A and B are shown apart, each in its own frame.
Chain A
């Protein structure tokens, strides 16, 4: 049992604790409201609401425009469709120039213009039946929208660009390798290598004074994506190795495993970050589970299926319990160091 006297009551109070004290009867209704007001951080509702309305409103309008052109209304002449989209691209860009370039509305306008570039390319393909592959559409979209992206100095727009570029790379691999290759490690390797320099750039920029490139959500987003892309070839490599007890000839798997280990060491020692360590370690844990699964299959050969499945169940429980416990200890250690 926990010794509550050891608990540090000098930690900051949270809204959840206030609710818990109220639910347990230690606070009355009035005290609850006052305590909640004290623990909630300062907020600027007007500013926040205006940002929310602008962002969600723009998302809805842009989605509506995409839906409209996806409908492919034959009664509208092609020229009118092109003219409409081009007017929107020009309009959004001019609006961004008129508004102050560093403001959120201006950046949202540039993002909208980037989206419209994709709509233009899609409608072009609809009307002229160019026969172009899907990856070419996304590649052209990524290339053309890079102009707006660079000038926007806006982290969400870079994320948007990155998503388009990733889809282009994925579709290119599928188009050139066939559907079966979707599950092959090569595609994930390409995606991993494509995103790795972006993560490296982000980490390099952390040494500079704070600016728009240093949003705290960028690291977890990139690390989770890279860890996922690396986990697939790593799992395939380790399971094949256990199956045949021979080193597979492909380099993707061992490269992915090495990368995961390097990332773990980097975020564990060089630049301590929980949101860097956790995704990488989770990918390694899942790889380990699959390796054990292969090993169990190899050793028991499913002659005693119930035993094999029970062993796997225990392995999964132990691996995840170990992972969470390790991260908990690591967190406690880092907090103690501070």
Chain B
């Protein structure tokens, strides 16, 4: 586990770690990267997300209203408009606009909302034509793959799409809404699987995975947002809606436990480190929590650990929000009675508190700053 004190500047970092021949190119890259969209503060990203979240239903409503007024065939019209909007989004993304004025912000809002609305409409059009739920995950995967191939941001946009799919049943009751409830969890599970891959990537470190830290953030944000949506609409949504199904899918705990062990091995510097001391205890606690089938708690804990490891407040915040949201949903989960759930939670808590006691016993928590909270 790495410990350093002085944080270098971008110029110092390049001078210290990049080979001499590559430095000019690295400086130019770092300059563009820092000035461009990658350096956008979290607050701006959240506000852009809020703006897109308001724009998407407005755009969708506009299409539905025009369909009614022109008495067009629902499925065909939705597919045509959806494809046109998706193509517009891809076109805009392939001609990026990087400036510091209001036009750039409008551009980002347009790209996100046209993509989510377009892909959502395309999928619903196909569902209306075929009446099959499996069309949703299959089309969503194809749209994601095509977007990823054309503009290289596939997984991030999958999240945007998934959130749209999950939210649409809130506004559209009936067959299409029912199909979304059935198909969205499958698509969500694939997103979950992708996140596992990225977490595992912490150990394997292939170039393309380490470079996809924003995707990890997007996926984590999607899971937490889904839980938040479920909690916010808890009086409207039926108990078996997408987020609940997603969190109780068989094997999710196992996937998370494997990913957690990979993360711990990465933090310790190799698999052998899991055989000793604190990491051994953490690995055992991970397996125990997986055995108790508490995926939300596992995910929350890993986001907290990952956030602390990467000094990433966003991930830490998501982890902190994830745990209470999951507990709220767990309370209303119909798969077990309250007594069983109570036993599972107390057992899980005792496992973690035992870990705490062990650390105290070993004197690993006596560093300065203990009193702050």
Q: Which residues of A contact B (CB under 8 A)?
A: 1-2, 4-13, 15-27, 29, 31-32, 34-54, 56-65, 67-68, 70-71, 73, 102-104, 107, 154-156, 212, 274-275, 278, 282, 289, 305-306, 309-310, 312-313, 316-325, 327-328, 331
Contact = CB atoms under 8 A, between A and B. Distances in A.
A53 B359 contact: yes
A327 B43 contact: yes
Contacts of A38: 4, 7-8, 13, 16-17
Interface string B124-159: 000000000000000000000000000000000000
Contacts of A306: 62, 65-66, 69
- Nearest 9 pairs between A and B by C-beta? A23-B211, A320-B51, A60-B349, A57-B352, A46-B364, A61-B349, A64-B345, A64-B346, A50-B365
Interface of B: 1-5, 7-14, 16-18, 22, 25-36, 38, 41, 43-44, 47-48, 50-51, 54-55, 58-59, 61-62, 65-66, 69, 98-102, 105-106, 109-110, 205, 207-208, 210-214, 267, 278, 282, 297, 300-301, 304-305, 308-312, 323-324, 327, 331, 337-339, 341-353, 355-356, 359-360, 364-367, 369-373
Given A4-B32, A38-B16, A67-B331, A103 B370 contact: yes
A39 B8 contact: yes
Contacts of A27: 17-18, 26
- The interface residues of chain B, by DSSP majority, are classed as helix
Contacts, number: 306
A317 B109 CA distance: 7
Contact of B10 (A2, A13, A58): A13
Contact of A11 (B34, B54, B55): B34
A13 B346 contact: no
B30 A39 contact: no
A321 B7 contact: no
A312 to B, nearest CB: 6
A317 B352 contact: no
A134 to B, nearest CB: 15
B311 A22 contact: no
Given A4-B28, A64-B349, A325-B105, A305 B278 contact: no
A228 to B, nearest CB: 12
Given A70-B338, A278-B43, A54 B353 contact: yes
Given A22-B210, A23-B210, A60-B349, A52 B12 contact: no
A2 B349 contact: no
Given A58-B353, A306-B69, A10 B11 contact: yes
A282 B16 contact: no
A15 B2 CA distance: 13
A67 B333 CA distance: 12
A43 B308 contact: yes
Nearest to A6: B35
B109 A10 contact: no
B44 A313 contact: no
Contact of A282 (B4, B47, B300, B355): B47
16 contacts: A12-B10, A15-B213, A17-B13, A26-B26, A37-B2, A38-B7, A40-B4, A40-B310, A46-B367, A59-B327, A63-B349, A64-B342, A68-B339, A155-B373, A278-B47, A318-B106
Nearest to A289: B54
B359 A9 contact: no
A300 B36 CA distance: 40
Contacts of B38: 16, 20
B342 A67 contact: yes
A60 B208 contact: no
B7 A13 contact: yes
B7 A41 contact: yes
Nearest to A154: B373
Count chain A CB atoms within 10 A of each CB in B110, B308, B370, B373 and give the residue with the most: B373
Contacts of A59: 323-324, 327, 349
Nearest to A18: B13
B102 A325 contact: yes
A275 B355 CA distance: 36
